[in-house]
Every structure is written in C-alpha cells, then in structure tokens.
Amino acid sequence: MFTKWRIFAVNHQRTFSVHLNTMCYCKIKANLKRLKTQLPLTRNYSSAPGIAGSDVKSLHSVINPPVAKIRNIGIMAHIDAGKTTTTERILYYSGYTRSLGDVDDGDTVTDFMAQERERGITIQSAAVTLDWKGYRVNLIDTPGHVDFTLEVERCLRVLDGAVAVFDASAGVEAQTLTVWRQADKHKIPRICFLNKMDKTGASFNYAVESIREKLKAKPLILQLPIGEARTFQGVVDVVNKEKLLWNSNSDDGKDFERMPLSEASDRELLKETIEARNSLIEQVADLDDEFADLVLGEFSENFDLVPAEKLQAAVHRVTLAQAAVPVLCGSALKNKGVQPLLDAVTTYLPSPEEREDRFLQWYEGDLCALAFKVLHDKQRGPLVFLRIYSGTLTPQLAVHNINRNCTERMSRLLLPFADQHVEIPSLTAGNIALTVGLKQTATGDTIVSSKSSALAAARRAGRGEREHGKKREAESLLLAGVEVPEPVFFCTIEPPSVAKQPDLDHALERLQREDPSLKVKLDPDSGQTVLCGMGELHIEIIHDRIKREYGLETYLGPLQVAYRETILNSVRATDTLDRVLGDKRHLVSAELEVRPAEEPCAVAKIEYADCVGEDLLQASREAIESAVHSACLQGPLLGSPVQDVAMTLHSLMIHPGTSTTMVTACISRCMQKVRSTLHALH
C-alpha cells in the first residue's frame, strides 16, 4: 500500500507526489480520481500567450497582429457534443498548454468554475487567446445548456465566425437548432465540425443530411472520414486529395501523416474523393459567380485541374456570404482532426475587417468598443470584456460610456486566457480585451474615447442617415447591444437571518451584473425576494454560487414556471364613462379591438384608427397606453402577464374638461370587458 503521501504547492498549483511500494494500476487510478474530486486542480499553462516552447515571439506582433490575421470565433453546440474537449485540444496543439485536460477529470482550461468541474458541463463562456501558424485566434467556448443561452447570445454578438460542433451519432439536436438561429440572427459565418466520429453509431452521411434537412443549410463537404466508429483512423482532405492518418502509438495526437491519395493503395478512397471534389466544385460554382467563370472558362473539361488555392478562396467567399457551410470531421477526444479544423478556421472564417459594421465609419478611427460580459474578481473588482471595433485601448485611459452617460478610467488592460490573464500595454481594433477599473459598465454598453467623440459620431451619422431618411436607425446602430431573454422560472430566496439580508442583496446585485438573464424582484404582497432565471439548473447554479463565493446559506422556495398568456381570437369592446365630480362633467366614450399580434412581442402593440384625431391623441396617448399595459399585467386564466397581443383604438370621444384619469378608467373598463369575454370563451 502507500508508504507516504506528500501534497505540496508549487506556483499556487497543487500537485501530487505519490510514493508507492506495490499497488495494482486500477487501485492507484481509483485513489487519484477520488482525491481529484476533493482537491480541484488548476491547469499549468505552458507559457504566456504567444510563447510556445522555445518559439519566443516579439511582444508587439503577439499583442497587435495585422487585422487580416485575426480570427474571433466561438465554439457552439448542443450540450455534450464536445465543445470544451475540442477547445482543450486546440489550446494543446497551438502550444498553450503542456498537457491535455479532460472534462471528466475536471481539469480543462475553459471550465474553471467549481460548478463546471463538478458537473462536467460549461456554465459560463470563457475566452482564450492563441496563435496558430501566424494567425491570432480569439476563441470563446460557449455553454450548450439552454439555461445559459444568454452566454451564447452575448458572445455571438461580438464574434466574426463560429465553429458548430455536432455529435456524429446524433446529428442536429435540440439546442443545436437554438444556437444556429442565434448565429443566423447575428449573421455569423460558420463551419461545421462533426465530432465523435469514433463513437458507436457515428454516421458521417446521417450527420450531413441532418444539417441539410433540419438547419436548412447547404453543407460543403471538405473532408471525408476514413472509417467510422471503431474503425475511424483519420480524414481525407477533399480539396487537396490527401489523406491524414494519426499515429496509433501517439497519445496526444500531435503526430500525423499527410499523404497524397494514390491509385495503387487507395483506389476506392481516391474514387470517392474525386467524386466528392467534383461535387464540391459544382456546388461552389453555383454559389459564387467568380469561381463559376473560372471553372467554366479554364477547367470546364477537367475539374481535377482546378487549383486547391482557387477552390479554398471560393469556399471562403461562400462561407462569408453565408450561402453554405464547410463541413469537417474528426474526434477531439481521440485527438484526431483538430489541427485541420484550426487550419479551416484561419482559411475559411472571416477577419474583423471583412465583417466591419457600417456604423464604424462615423467614428473615423476613434475608439469604439462593446462591453459584452462582466465578471467580478475578489482582488481586482469588476472585469469587463470588450470587443474593440475601432481605435486603440491603453491602460489608464479615460473612456466614455454612452449608455450610462458617464466617464470612467481603465486601470489595467489584460489579454484573456480563461481564468488567467496577461497584462498588456495596448490593444488595437479587431481584438477582444479584458479591462479592470470600469465599475459602472454593464453588458451591452458602448464604450468610446470621450463624450465629444460620441457626439461627433452621432452628428456624422445623423447627416449620413438623413440623406437616406433613416435617422432612427443610425441612433440604434450607435447603441447596438445584447438582447436579454425574459426569465422562464422563478422562486423565492431567503437569507438565514434578517441581519444577512443586506449581504444577500449585495451578492444578488453583483450576480445580476454578471448575468443579465438573472432577474431579482420584490414580491409586493409578501415582501419576499424573488429569483427569476432561465431554468432549474440556472437557479441552482446561482444558489450554489451565493453559498460558495459569498458564504451565505440561503433557502429557496418551490420552483414555479413563469407562464405567459395570449389570445387566440379578436374581441371588440365599447364603454362610456360619464361622471360629474364637483361642478365638472367628465365624459369619455371609447371602442377598441384586441387581437393576436402578427409578430411575437412582450409588450402589447397599440395602434390608432385614422378617425381618431391627432390632437385628441396628443393629450391622452399616455393615459391610453398606461391603461392597456396595466390590463396586460394579469391575464384571465392564471393571472400571468399577457403578451403577443395588439390593440387598435377605433374611436375615442372626450368631453372638454375631462381629466386623463377618466380616460385611463374608460380604457381599463374596455379591457376588462375584453378579459371577461375571453375568459367566457375558455
């Protein structure tokens, strides 16, 4: 058995030294695994970003590479498709970690929260910065669970491209559809990686077909698998007609051979690859006119002569236009296919300058950045993630927050690397930065160099948009932020004692700033604090974080679903209110119609008929809208908020001298009649 255990710390990292006499391998492994659960490990990174092994690069080239060499990408997928494992392999092969982490062992770089390592899932997105063959890759690993969909939403808002990871045995799954729609909303070019090709039941053709049918996308097959499930050995590069085989004796997957397919040894594979390449050329030619002219002009007789560089450039253009998605395959867990995936990221996904937003022209090179995430550090305070769209960030820089209309000073500028960060002297446009010192900035805020810079940009935007008659659009572009979904579940939360209530309020305030999808409100009837979140797991994680990070033992009430009500039929109602108060007569008569809205909307959409006078509306519009919105706070079935409804005011008559309070009361009575009618229909 063990003769001695020694546990010691080196550079703030816990390592284990085990002195053994005799013990079977399975018992050693079992004991080590049990010890890992008791003492969470911290990864030992090989070096600061930009230094891999003995290759020490110039600090300036590492921090501020050319914009064309930057790739801001996200890894997105359904839960348990292999996002974090793929990220771990990317970091290892790019030289930023010395060892391969494992989700099951709880020692991956991007899953650094205690809750993530215990559950083996990603809870919050983590950013890492790495270099690959002369390219700077800012990579964000996003959660796959639907409860943390805001993490995906706010990351996609600032990314230029994405890698969608699929389980090759399952194809497109439920959350895959959700993240795909989010990427569509933000118009993100993406490539597909069919992971787990070694898994029992893996099928390349099934996964590709599910992408075509369920996502309504056009897959461009750039790789073919060599074997499936247990027989999976490597991949075929369709563009270059080469096979990539990984050394079976290599534990880390760094050693692989790239060999041209030959007629002698790979007859069937070569035939299949030529057919796939010809099909790829035809697909791309249909989607890209420049490539079609090239193919039909010089290579119409023999597609085999089409240069790989020309085909890759055409696939890049098609991907950027989001007309199709390149498809690659591999097995991240078995260390196969990750290096070609990195090559595809740099080859096919766009650089920041290819994804420039139109509103940046108004800044004319001045600083413009978007805060997309906030974290709280016990020593440093709030850490704010910024995507720099134009200009340069430097430490000790005073910046202006347009949304909050305040000026703050950044104390430090960092390069994000999961839970470890590298301090840097400056960062230019196209990069993702981590700042210290911005105490009022929140998710979705626009950061500029000064208030005068924002006013100047607004003036330029106003002049430019007035020429096209779109001044409102210019204003919204300057403040483009992140859409926060409405909570789905809620429950009460109570501190262990009344004396701890201020501590709980402080913890919830910080957590809300980190996670805008978490809402906290006070129940007006009971006076209890109500926690509103995106799901059961979301609220459970928040409860656990309050206990671990803030040392508060809180009690949660029963979980309830935040139901919403809507209407299925149109209903009309008329009401007349005639009152004499003192020596004044108050007379209001109104007719309105409530119907299902054509598009989803959280707040009732209010319209006015042409016969309703504009002068009348100017005096009573606020009273009308207040009455409608108040009536939609509680529905007739469960008393839940009403949404996806539209109201049209067909007629309104107001006697001179009638107060706005009477107008509100009349509209409220009309809405009450609508409620009664709808309740009777049910």
- pLDDT tens digits, 153-167: 888 888 899 999 999
Task: Lowest mean pLDDT of 70-79, 358-367, 526-535, name the range.
Answer: 358-367
Which of the four pLDDT bands, split at 50, 70 and 90, describes residue 320? Answer: very high
Q: What is the pLDDT of residue 680?
A: 57
Q: Do 158 and 142 form a contact (C-beta atoms < 8 A)? A: no
Higher pLDDT, 557 or 616: 557
Whether residue 321 has pLDDT greater than 90:
yes
Of the pLDDT bands very low, low, confident and very high (cuts 50, 70, 90), residue 346 is: very high
What whole-number distance in Å separates Cα of residue 381 and Cα of residue 223? 46
Q: Which CATH superfamily is domain 360-463 in?
A: Translation factors (2.40.30.10)
Residue 390's pLDDT is what?
Answer: 86
pTM attached to this predicted model: 0.76
pLDDT at 344 over 90: yes
Confidence label for 405 from pLDDT (cuts 50, 70 and 90) = confident
* Distance (Å, whole) CA 249 – CA 269: 24
The CATH number that domain 67-348 falls under is 3.40.50.300
Greater confidence, 52 or 103?
103
pLDDT at 349: 94
Summarised one tens digit per residue, pLDDT across range 537-551 is: 888 888 888 888 888
Q: Do 273 and 281 contact (CB within 8 A), yes or no?
A: no
**Is residue 8 predicted with pLDDT exceeding 70?**
no
pLDDT at res. 669: 86
- From residue 162, how far is each of 140, 235, 330, 513, 660 by CA, in Å? 9, 21, 17, 26, 53
The amino acid occupying position 440 is: Q
For the chain, the domains span 67-348, 360-463, 489-557, 571-680
Q: Could you name the CATH architecture of 571-680?
A: 2-Layer Sandwich (3.30)
Q: Is the pLDDT of residue 648 over 70?
A: yes
pLDDT of residue 678: 67
Return d(Cα 445, Cα 382) in angstroms, integer.
Answer: 14
Q: What is the mean pLDDT of residues 552-571?
A: 85
Architecture of domain 489-557: 2-Layer Sandwich (3.30)
> 189 is written with which tokens?
């070019």
Lowest mean pLDDT among 115-129, 279-293, 597-611, 627-641: 115-129
The mean pLDDT of 41-60, rounded to a whole number, is 38
Res 6 pLDDT > 50? no
Q: Is the pLDDT of residue 653 over 80?
A: yes
Return the higher-pLDDT residue of 143 and 595. Answer: 595
